[in-house]
Structure 1
């Protein structure tokens, strides 16, 4: 029987495992992975009751910051020890935004779940009433706030109303004279992206991808030609699937380019007249994610296969007229990352940071050279980065919201190759009365 206090056992186990993994990765990257044996995680399940009691104690009213930091030092954050609890408690964090005042907006629960929008400000979490989904324009000025009534666009968080936009009816872009049915309920957004003018919003949903504007909605996917082709083949309108899988989209900072896709399409790039200017073949099976770089002159496009994937890049200047097939070796669309199925991503100067299905943040340069990796655990499903590129927030399917200070040094309990330190982790777990700060 180990006579050490539980927190000391935890601290030693978590630190030793992190250092063993980091050494394993360093050896593999330097010498190759043949004949290397991955370290096995230590037994920590017997410590979970003590960890939970300490976590709850550290979140009692009146506990000062010094005491909380002492708890965090004694019980350093880790993912692997919590795996036995995740089936019961985990839930996804669908969307995150890091506001300029340092607070964080989070949607707790995945888009199709009832969920709740909250604001994390320092050590407190407050519900945001009347908002079910939200998004922000790439230039960080305009916000889209959605509920059953429609989408409001505001100039800044809490700022004045700029535009009210209606939900699509579901009949947009469908051939006339066929018995297509309108939506019974508004589409469920997986992304809401206002444009630079604050007058339009890109709505990404499994029910379709639409451009919302004051004059009404325009369907971008599925494309009308696809529906016409199905009808020409004699498919009954009732049997035409207008839903999308792996629907995704993004908008350039100036609002002049829209990128959309789903698992059945190539990557499509539209101009501000909604004309297709480029069709880019993916370098894995199913288009899954799109992101412009920080400078706005390069576009990265990810496609997935099971829980892995590959990412290509294309210069914005090369987009007009670009038409490539799946797995093209066109020199204008080089592969810049292999391995990651990207669920979320951000860009800072010269660098992409993406979250993959295996719990890793992966950073790589615009030319594809690997920069660093940083482990949080569970699938990364939401990311945002501060205006200055120094703070990253990440949400996971395990119910974690992690705040990471980039380029500040790596603590000895952190699995990763980059000099980054997690400063705060919130656990939004099902079955708990309130979220708890780690």
Structure 2
């Protein structure tokens, strides 16, 4: 038996493995960035699967005790958070968290479970998770004031997360906005991929695999698939029963002032509509499939990502250039420069002059609005949702592994953290399928 296994407790083995691996990766990245990557060997990943049972028992015990912050920090020092030791459990235990919001008091809202699953909405405070009964999904407006809540009988918009109702909207008919006279089988109401109130609280952008709609009291307006594209299919001889009405990689974003709506899906270009729902821009992606859109906090810059497998590229577009903008795939138009090449983006936030994206390989990556790389921070697994505090000091992010992290930005990085920036993960929640309850790490 090796010295590691014979002389060290499971906790000591875990701590040692995580620390050594983080140190090795950080040294590897620093050296490669400074001197080039030729000839460099990636650090060896320690074997830790035999420690998972002891880790889970310790984590469960920690969650049964009082929630004193000092005790929690001591536990994190003893059992430092890491992704690689959890890998054997993730395929069975992980689950998507498609919506996440950081509230003013530091608590969080999250939707647990993929959009096509029943799922639940939870309110997360330090040491406690409360399920908001009968809620199916939620979303927050870009100015963080209005909240949209999906119920079985409709969508409610409130002024504040616990505030008064300002509007109530019906679910759209998935067949709304299609050419008249089509004889199609009825469909169930859409399951939200995203739900974004406009800054006035009167309209909501509903993104779903069954279509992207703007909802208002007068009814729903379909943005995707576009009526013109469906009519073209019919003109080319596609039968009504064979029409493709579903979307893949569907996504949408609204600017801070509510004047611009960016939407897309894997077929076609990035599309931008104005507040009157007129198409104003068609932007060719810098990858095979449009995948994600995000406006910066000021609302004057738009990030557009397209992917190919687990890689991708992101364009930056000035909002002032949107009216009438029309470019081809892989265009070298100076109005649509590539800001980041390599990442398939699943979630994003912005602060100051930088975008922070979450990629398919578990990294948060920050770069300026002109494409200057700033920092990277490793969490693990593909990201699914993200939010940032108005002051830019706290970032929360969720992954397909059923994990939510809270990160204090611009704070001294702990020894166990993989990354190039000075950021400190202060809290981690595990929403794993077989856990009796979510566990805070």
Normalized against structure 2, the TM-score is what? 0.97
Q: Which residue of 1 aligns with 2:419?
A: 416
Deviations 1:79-125 (CA, angstroms, capped at 9, x unpaired)? 00011111221111111000111100011111111111111111111
Match for residue 249 of structure 1 among 249, 252, 257: 252
Does the 8 A contact of 2:306 with 2:314 survive in 1?
Answer: yes
Please point out which of 65, 81, 87 is paired with 2:85: 81
Task: Kindly report which structure 2 residues correspond to 1:162-201, keeping only aligned pairs within 5 A, or say none.
Answer: 162-183=166-187, 185-201=188-204
Between stretches 126-135 and 335-344, larger displacement belongs to 126-135
Deviation, structure 1 residue 171? 2.6
Identify unmatched segments of 5+ residues in structure 1. Answer: none
**Pairing partner for 1:155 from 131, 153, 159:** 159
TM-superposed CA distance for 1:12, in Å, is 1.2
CA contact (8 A) 2:197 2:204 kept: yes
Cα separation, 1, equivalents of 2:186 and 2:390: 40
CA distance in structure 2 between the partners assigned to 1:56 and 1:196 by the alignment: 41
Given candidates 340, 344, 347, the residue that maps to 2:347 is: 344
TM-superposed CA distance for 1:350, in Å, is: 0.5
1:148 and 1:186 in contact (8 A); partners too: no
Q: Does 1:299 align with 2:281?
A: no
Q: Is the 8 A contact 1:294 1:350 kept in 2?
A: no
Aligned residue runs from structure 1 range 162-311, under 5 A? 162-183=166-187, 185-311=188-314
What count of residue pairs does the alignment treat as equivalent?
437
**Which SS does the other structure have where 2:54 is aligned?**
helix
The answer to whether structure 1 residue 122 and structure 2 residue 163 are counterparts is no
* CA displacement at 1:63 relative to structure 2: 5.7
Specify the SS of the correspondent of 1:295.
coil
What is the distance in 1 between the residues matched to 2:438 and 2:206?
Answer: 29
CA contact (8 A) 1:252 1:296 kept: yes
| Superposed displacement of residue 165, structure 1 | 0.4
8 A contact 2:63–2:127 mirrored in 1: no
- Work out the CA distance in 1 between the residues paired with 2:22 and 2:65: 32
1:149-194 C-alpha deviation (Å, 9 max, x unpaired) = 11000000110000000011123221111213342x2101010110
Aligned to 1:398: 401
Which of 44, 49, 59 lines up with 1:45 in the alignment? 49
Deviation, structure 1 residue 61: 4.2
Three-state SS of the structure 2 residue aligned to 1:59 is helix
| Aligned: 1:28 with 2:32 | yes
- If the length of structure 1 is used for normalisation, what is the TM-score? 0.98
Checking the alignment, whether the CA contact within 8 Å between 1:170 and 1:181 is kept in structure 2 is: no
Moved more, 108-117 or 208-217: 108-117
Structure 1 segments of 4 or more deviating over 4 A? none
Q: Determine if contact 1:390/1:407 at 8 Å carries over to the other structure.
A: yes
Name the counterpart of 2:390: 387
Distance 2:166 2:336 in 1: 38
- Residue by residue over 1:27-74, the C-alpha shift from the partner in whole angstroms, topping out at 9 and shown as x without a partner, is 111111111111121111121121111111111144644333222110
- Aligned to 2:221, the other structure's residue is in SS state strand
Give the whole-Å Cα distance in 2 for the aligned partners of 1:45 and 1:389: 37
1:199 Cα deviation after fit = 0.4
Question: Following the alignment from structure 2 to structure 1, what is the Cα–Cα distance between the partners of residues 287 and 312?
Answer: 6
Tell me how far apart the structure 2 counterparts of residues 150 and 32 of structure 1 sit (CA, whole Å). 55
- Answer with 3-12 or 309-318: which moved more: 3-12
Cα distance in 1 for residues equivalent to 2:376 and 2:116: 30
Aligned with 1:72 (options 61, 69, 76) = 76
Cα distance in 2, alignment partners of residues 39 and 21 from structure 1:
6
SS at 1:220 equivalent: strand
User: Mean alpha-carbon deviation: is it higher for 281-290 or for 23-32?
Assistant: 23-32
CA distance in 1, matches of 2:68, 2:33: 42
1:294-350 CA distance string (max 9 Å, x none):
221111100000000000111111111110000000011000001110000011110
DSSP-derived class of the 2:98 partner: strand
Residue equivalent to 2:10? 6
Distance 1:411 1:61, change over 3 A: closer
Secondary structure of residue in 2 paired with 1:191: strand
For 1:325, the equivalent position in structure 2 comes to 328
Q: Is the 8 A contact 2:264 2:290 kept in 1?
A: yes
